[in-house]
Amino acid sequence: MNNPALFKLLLPFLLVCATAVKAQQFGGNPPSIKWQQVNTLAARVIFPQGLDTAALRVADVIRRLNPVIKPTIGSKQRQISIVLQNQTTVSNGYVGLAPFRSEFYLTPSQNSLSIGSLPWPTQLAIHEFRHVQQYNNFNIGLSHALKVVFGEGGQALGNDLTIPNWFFEGDAVYNETLVSEQGRGRLPYFFNGYRALWTNGRNYSWMKLRNGSYRDYVPDHYPMGYMLVAYGREQYPATFWKNVTHAAASFDGLFYPFQKAVKKYSGDTYSRFRNKAFDHFKKEFKSDEADSSYQKNQHFIANQQYPAYVNDSTLVYLKTTYREIPKFVLQTGRIEKDISVQDIVTDNYFTYRGGKILYAAYRPDVRWGYRDYNELVVLDVNTGRERRITRKTKYFAPAFSNDGKTIVAVQANTTGKSELHLLDAVSGKLLAVLPNRDGLFYTYPRFYGDGHVISAVRNTDGKMSLVLTDIKTGANKYLLPFSYAPIVYPTVQGDLVYFTKTSGAADKLYALSLKSNQLFAVTGLPQKDAIGFYQPALTPNKLAWVGFTAFGYQINQINNDRIQLSLINNDVAAPLSDIGISRLEKDSATNLLAKVTDTPLPITKYSKAHGLFNFHSLIPNINDPNYSLAIVGENVLNTFQSRLAFNYNRDEGYKRVGYNAAYGALFPYIVAGADYTFDRRSFFKGNSIYYNETDLHAGLQVPLNFTAGKQVTGLTLGSDVYFSRNSFQEAFRSQFKDRQYTYLNNYLSFSNQIQQAKQQINPRFAQSISLNYKTAISSITANQFLATSAFYFPGLAINHSLVISAAHQQKGQSNAIGFSNDFPFSKGYGAENLTNMNKVGLSYHFPIAYPDAGVANLAYILRLRGYLFYDHTHATSNQFTLNGAPFKANFRSAGAAVFFDTKWFNQQSISFGVRYSYLLDPDYFGGNGKNRIELVLPVSIF
């Protein structure tokens, strides 16, 4: 995974990556939210007022689990601050260093197969707190030394260099599987990616499995991590991974410490250990039928999801490829017809009735990044026209009534409660809210007749059933015993409700008679082409479902006369399978979640001013001729960021100290800073003169997010006032007067783009415009205006891109201030800040190859891409002369570049390239010759 020999070279870059990778929304919550806290030894749970139940549950789970599971990773403990975010519709959570904190996004997912059905705050607590224990105990050896020198960012660097991301997540998934009766390690859906690869004989290299591909489907590192961690826990003592990770985080052996530690404590080489782990799980899924229906060189085809019948011969479904963004299509026979591109969503689920598609589209709040919505959209299949019928709602899994006049949808409240809403299908008007007396979490509701709704539900324990709800009375009838086996995608056909439920090591299709209450297994379905039976759709004559393959989700169909319904007599509430990991049932922490009891813990106010500065990392940066060290800080609520820096300029020899801060909890950000520079150098009559410089600035910035529908749109505008004073040193004070000036820096940036497919280098349509105007407001005269823009268009092929750029900069002819120059000059030329500059650029981007190859687990190349370009800059200036006349010249260049999209250490994405420029005009401010070759590196490295 790693090569610490590169540590010194990449230290600045990796520190930036390690500290920025977990960054979340700055200033994302409105100031109206009042924060409270539950403070325990292991965790401070910070939450919006009104979420007491969720916060106390998180605190209780951590208090009960922490001492029991801690010995398998280490005994060190440092309190973590956990912020509960209830304004977003996103289901997620994270723990990060720099700063050391965690956030739980409290809206649960509808799909219980993917992450389970446990109460969402509980699921987050048992998974994310394992990350807390990991970071606490990986602060050891050289990783600890890096923390001593560079702060939390130093430890993040050491841990990223030595502990693979698959271990972090695999160990956390193992923990959720161990301490509960569920967890992803018991869910066959979690393993579908690898099962599909194995059944199709896709024996990808380790580096490909680790780094992914632009051509082929590759599962992420979560299931890989679980299989490796679970195998280690199954075959070796419970402290096996503790020993391995402590040795690795300490850099024991320096080169490839993790691999060496695995060999030391397992007796097997790293590669042999991996192969044994995979073989262990392959045996558990040996009943999966080998699939030989695809060619050996077949790459990813498409995800075909949520089929719905228009009639027996026509399906509508969502199609997503690596080359195209998600779109709804009609398929009759083998002929596909595009309907419309899907709006931006958090969940691809949709339903169909009577020529209309219904789904929930994502819309963020204009200002507050942690607040967003799911709004209902109705799409007419025949015309392709869309209507957004609700605003600022949090709806999920909507479905039409049989007559198409009413909609039922799950409303996820910020209080944590789940409700079923009935709405008018035309206006979106709320008609009724069905009572939820049992505290259920509803998923995938469907109408049954005119008076009932069927839903897959989770109870407060996290067990699932099907429930039939009477629309008039709100009375619930439970159709199945509650169990931890996930239930999803109920679909009604006549008096039968079809659904997918986990059984053992498989996700199977079932049918329940609503008349007799008899449960049937749906058999007679071909299984060799895919894994699992998902998203069923029916007519009286046909059944369609989705199975997972190595080439995406694929739709299967069968005539109903071939379907067999086998009556189920055994216990449908049987425990889930451990899928070959018997240690899950033999540990002191086995099902520890069942022993968590509610404890009355004190709730107190959490001050928004708590720990505002919170300096956590020392970050070095080398950008020759500037060398800097910065102490960076950020508070837990992510409303205040600060930076105290020292900079040395090698060219002039000056030293600068400065402090900059931003406060993001109000509608406009408030930004301010101060810099003091020693020993600035200038020239006067051939001699060096020295002065010190004081710079103060303050301003307001407003970030706005207008993303909606199919467009991602952002607008940022702001203004800063700068005050600068030059104080000449003692030896020069008799010759020069101190000088001071004040100016405004006004700016606006706008960006808009459509969604971008995985293989697309640029969005097929996008616009970016930036304006900046600086003007003096004191007694001196100075101004500078800069406008830059880029417009993205489709190229000749689906993954090609044409970019047209333009820029204009104009400054005052007698400027008394030398404003910085950010004009994008023609490539290859030396640049100067001239009075008037205008540029037009053309570039054509295209993929060259997808090597999917690497070397020594260090560097992996996913894609080679290139571009051709032509730049034309015309400039004039009154500061220079050319042939005895005021300066006027063209700067034209043409050339090409090759870029490498890579991953390093099997984790970190880096793109770099080599660019050749041919200069068509003289380079008045640079070197000689017309041929220029440049290495284009990420700015954060050098």
Domain spans of the chain, in order of start:
34-288+580-605, 756-936
- For the stretch 845-881, pLDDT in tens is 999 999 999 999 999 999 999 999 999 999 998 877 7
Residue 16: pLDDT band with limits 50, 70, 90: very low
Token digits for 634? 């950020």
| Predicted TM-score of the model (pTM) | 0.94
DSSP calls for 214-270: SSS----HHHHHHHHHHHHHHHS-TTHHHHHHHHHHTTTTSSSHHHHHHHHHHSS-H
| Distance, CA of 589 to CA of 126 (rounded, Å) | 12
- For the stretch 218-231, pLDDT in tens is 999 999 999 999 99
Average pLDDT, the chain: 92
**Contact between residue 510 and residue 498 where contact means Cβ atoms under 8 Å apart:** yes
Interacting residues of 84 by C-beta distance below 8 A, sequence separation 6+: 45, 46, 47, 48, 51, 54, 55, 58, 103, 104, 106, 121
Looking at the chain, the whole-number percentage of residues with pLDDT higher than 70 is 95
| Distance, CA of 188 to CA of 680 (rounded, Å) | 66
pLDDT higher than threshold 80 for residue 194 = yes
* Dihedral over Cα of 822, 825, 830, 834: its sign: negative
**Contact between residue 524 and residue 562 where contact means Cβ atoms under 8 Å apart:** yes
Residue 575: pLDDT band with limits 50, 70, 90: confident
| Distance, CA of 529 to CA of 525 (rounded, Å) | 11
Interacting residues of 168 by C-beta distance below 8 A, sequence separation 6+: 131, 134, 225
**Contact between residue 469 and residue 452 where contact means Cβ atoms under 8 Å apart:** yes
Long-range contacts made by residues 453-460, C-beta under 8 angstroms, separation at least 24? 453/408, 453/420, 454/479, 454/490, 454/492, 454/497, 455/410, 455/420, 455/490, 456/112, 456/487, 456/488, 456/489, 456/490, 456/499, 458/112, 458/117, 458/119, 460/119
Query: Residue 75 class from Cβ within 10 Å (0-12 exposed, 13-18 middle, 19+ buried)?
Result: exposed
Q: Is the peptide bond before 164 cis (omega within 30 degrees of 0)?
A: no
pLDDT higher than threshold 80 for residue 14 = no
pLDDT number for residue 683: 55
Question: Which architecture, in CATH terms, is 34-288+580-605?
Answer: Orthogonal Bundle (1.10)
Q: What is the bridge-based pairing of β-strands 395-400 and 406-412? A: antiparallel
Which helix (H) or strand (E) covers residue 940, if one does? none
pLDDT higher than threshold 50 for residue 933 = yes
pLDDT number for residue 928: 84
| Distance, CA of 151 to CA of 644 (rounded, Å) | 14
Residue 493: pLDDT band with limits 50, 70, 90: very high
| Distance, CA of 772 to CA of 788 (rounded, Å) | 9
Cα dihedral 576, 580, 582, 588, rounded to 10, equals -70
Long-range contacts made by residues 461-466, C-beta under 8 angstroms, separation at least 24? 461/119, 462/116, 462/117, 462/118, 462/119, 462/122, 462/123, 462/180, 462/182, 463/117, 464/112, 464/117, 466/490, 466/497, 466/499, 466/512
How long, in residues, is the chain? 942
pLDDT higher than threshold 50 for residue 623 = yes
Query: How many other C-beta atoms are found inside a 10 Å radius of the C-beta of residue 225?
Result: 21
What does DSSP assign to residue 463? Answer: -
pLDDT higher than threshold 60 for residue 557 = yes
What does DSSP assign to residue 483? Answer: B
pLDDT number for residue 6: 36
Nearest 5 degrees, angle CA 353-CA 355-CA 356?
65
* Dihedral over Cα of 564, 570, 573, 574: its sign: negative
Token digits for 345? 């969503």
- With b for 16 or more beta-carbon neighbours within 10 A and e for fewer, the 226-248 pattern comes to bbbbbbbbbebeeebbbbbbbbb
pLDDT number for residue 339: 97
pLDDT number for residue 570: 66
Q: Specify which of 302-311, 615-624, 684-693, 922-931 reaches the highest per-range mean pLDDT.
A: 302-311
| Distance, CA of 347 to CA of 353 (rounded, Å) | 19
Query: Residue 672 class from Cβ within 10 Å (0-12 exposed, 13-18 middle, 19+ buried)?
Result: middle
| Distance, CA of 330 to CA of 462 (rounded, Å) | 37
Token digits for 883? 């042939």
pLDDT number for residue 927: 81
From the list 435, 434, 423, 478, the residue with the least C-alpha distance to 456 is: 478
| Distance, CA of 877 to CA of 892 (rounded, Å) | 17
pLDDT higher than threshold 80 for residue 9 = no
From the list 696, 710, 711, the residue with the least C-alpha distance to 745 is: 696
Nearest 5 degrees, angle CA 55-CA 57-CA 59?
70
- With b for 16 or more beta-carbon neighbours within 10 A and e for fewer, the 341-363 pattern comes to bbbbbbbbbbbbbeebbbbbbbb
Q: Is the peptide bond before 886 cis (omega within 30 degrees of 0)?
A: no
Phi, then psi, of 798 in degrees rounded to 5: -60, -35
- For the stretch 180-192, pLDDT in tens is 999 999 999 999 9
pLDDT number for residue 427: 97
Residue 777 in 3-state DSSP? coil
| Distance, CA of 845 to CA of 522 (rounded, Å) | 50
| Distance, CA of 754 to CA of 765 (rounded, Å) | 6
- For the stretch 287-298, pLDDT in tens is 887 777 777 889
| Distance, CA of 205 to CA of 466 (rounded, Å) | 42
From the list 400, 392, 325, 321, the residue with the least C-alpha distance to 359 is: 400
| Distance, CA of 725 to CA of 695 (rounded, Å) | 7
Quote the radius of gyration of the chain (alpha carbons, Å): 30
Phi, then psi, of 639 in degrees rounded to 5: -115, -10
